[in-house]
Amino acid sequence: MAKQLNIRSDEAHRLAHAISERTGQPVVEVVVSALREFGSKLPPVEDMTPTQRADYEALRELARQAAQHKRPGATSDHSDMYDAYGLPV
């Protein structure tokens, strides 16, 4: 029997179903494909030295701590600061 994964996110549900409809793939295949692609972009853990691994984990912990202080609605989208050609306004 296949293991089950439950994701309680309206956005994830909406995105997965929208991509499924556009591609004709089942939702589960859309999610698996997205996870594979995301995983392929991560640095290979086994190729890190112990020092690199410790630094990597320390940075990830800092990112987790910083994420807790994010203001609601805050994004990294700064498109309002640039014109249609990507130049500062």
In a domain, 5, yes or no: no
In a domain, 16, yes or no: yes
Check pLDDT > 90 for residue 65: yes
In a domain, 75, yes or no: no
Query: Residue 87: CA atoms inside 13 Å, Cβ hemisphere, count?
Result: 2
| Count of Cβ atoms closer than 10 Å to residue 30 Cβ | 19
52-to-13, 17, 62 alpha-carbon distances in Å? 36, 38, 15
Contacts of 82 (CB under 8 A, 6+ apart): 88, 89
In a domain, 24, yes or no: yes
Check pLDDT > 80 for residue 68: yes
What is the number of domains present in the chain? 1
In a domain, 49, yes or no: yes
Model-level pTM? Answer: 0.50
Which of the pair, 76 or 62, is modelled with greater confidence? 62
Which tens digit of pLDDT belongs to each residue from 30-61? Answer: 999 999 999 988 877 778 889 998 998 999 99
pLDDT of residue 45: 73
Its domain, for residue 34, covers 10-67
In a domain, 40, yes or no: yes
pLDDT of residue 11: 93
In a domain, 27, yes or no: yes
In a domain, 3, yes or no: no
